[in-house]
C-alpha cells in the first residue's frame, strides 16, 4: 500500500458503501459481511431468466406480424436492486464512485466470461447519456461499469458507436408504456458499425422495465441489422 493511501485512510477512514461500517485494511468498497450477502441474481447461468424474458417480450411486441424468427437475446444482471444494495448503484450513478463502478463491472464481466456466449463479445457499449446530462454529471455511470466489464471480458470498450440524440426526462415515475414512449428514438447509431460477426454487449446500471436498453438496441440494429446484441446491468429492479 502506498504511503499516501495509508495517510489518507488514517485521515478519512474508508467506509463500506452498503452499511457504512469502517473498512478493514484488506477490504475495498464493501465490508466482508456485505460482500458475503450480495443478493446475486445468477441470471448469467441461464439464457432464460426473468430479465431476459422481460427484455425479449419487448422485442417480440415491437415486431411486425410477418417478421422473421428472432434469436433470443441474452440479458443478465449482477444483483437484485434491493435493501442496502441499492446504495451500490446510487454511489456509482450519483456519487461518481468510479473505482466502485469499475470493480462491480469486473465482477459482472467475470461472471459473463464464466457463463460463455455462443458468439464472443466483440464490443462493450455503455448506454450513453445525452451530452448535456453527461456534461453536468461529469461522467457516464454506465461507462464506469462498462470499463470493468470490458477488462474482464477482454473485449474492447466502444463509446463511439451509439449517441443519445435526444434528452429524455426521468423514467422513475413512469409505467412501462410511458417509459417506452419516453425513450423511443432517443438513441442513434453513429460511425461505421463493426464488421460482422459482431456481438455487442450493451451495459447500463439498472434494469427496470428494459425500455432504455431496448431503445438503444433498436438504434444499433437500425444501422446494422445483422448485429447480435446482449444486455447486462449491475442491478435488476423488477
User: 201 has which bridge partners?
Assistant: 124, 230
- Indicate if the alpha-carbon torsion angle 136, 217, 200, 40 is positive or negative: positive
- Of 29, 34, 157, 211, the residue at the interface with Zn ion (CB under 5 A) is 34
User: 203 has which bridge partners?
Assistant: 126, 232
42-81 footprint of Zn ion as x/- string (CB under 5 A): ----------------------------------------
Q: How many residues bind Zn ion (CB under 5 A)?
A: 6
91 lies in the site for Zn ion, by CB under 5 A: no
- Of 29, 31, 152, 234, the residue at the interface with Zn ion (CB under 5 A) is 31
Q: Which residues, 179 to 198, sit near Zn ion by CB under 5 A?
A: none
DSSP 80-117: E--GGGHHHHHHHHTT--HHHHHHHHHHHHHHHHHH--
- In 12-163, where does DSSP find H-type helix? 32-36, 50-62, 86-93, 98-115, 131-137, 141-153
Beta carbon nearer to Zn ion, 44 or 79: 79
144 lies in the site for Zn ion, by CB under 5 A: no
18 lies in the site for Zn ion, by CB under 5 A: yes
Rule CB under 5 A: which residues touch Zn ion?
16, 18-19, 21, 31, 34
Amino acid at each position: 500500500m502506498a504511503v499516501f493511501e495509508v495517510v489518507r485512510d488514517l485521515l478519512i477512514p474508508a467506509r463500506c458503501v452498503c452499511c457504512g461500517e469502517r473498512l478493514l485494511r484488506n477490504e475495498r468498497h464493501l465490508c466482508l459481511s456485505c460482500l458475503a450477502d450480495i443478493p446475486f441474481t445468477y441470471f448469467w447461468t441461464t439464457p432464460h431468466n426473468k430479465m431476459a424474458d422481460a427484455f425479449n417480450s419487448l422485442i417480440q411486441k415491437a415486431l411486425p406480424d410477418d417478421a422473421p424468427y428472432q434469436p433470443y437475446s441474452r440479458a443478465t444482471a449482477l444483483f437484485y436492486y434491493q435493501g442496502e444494495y441499492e446504495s451500490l448503484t446510487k454511489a456509482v450513478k450519483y456519487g461518481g464512485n468510479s473505482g466502485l463502478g469499475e470493480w462491480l463491472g469486473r465482477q459482472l464481466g467475470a461472471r459473463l466470461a464464466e457463463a460463455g456466449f455462443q458468439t464472443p463479445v466483440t464490443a462493450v457499449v455503455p448506454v450513453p447519456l445525452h451530452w448535456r446530462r453527461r456534461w453536468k454529471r461529469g461522467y457516464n455511470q454506465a461507462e464506469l461499469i462498462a470499463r470493468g466489464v470490458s477488462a474482464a471480458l477482454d473485449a474492447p470498450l466502444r463509446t463511439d458507436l451509439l449517441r443519445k440524440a435526444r434528452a429524455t426526462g426521468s423514467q422513475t415515475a413512469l409505467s412501462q408504456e410511458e417509459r417506452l414512449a419516453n425513450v423511443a428514438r432517443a438513441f442513434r447509431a453513429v460511425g461505421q458499425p463493426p464488421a460482422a460477426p459482431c456481438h455487442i454487449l450493451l451495459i447500463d446500471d439498472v434494469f427496470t422495465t428494459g425500455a432504455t436498453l431496448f431503445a438503444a438496441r433498436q438504434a444499433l440494429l437500425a444501422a446494422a441489422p445483422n448485429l447480435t446484441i446482449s444486455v447486462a446491468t449491475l442491478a435488476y429492479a423488477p
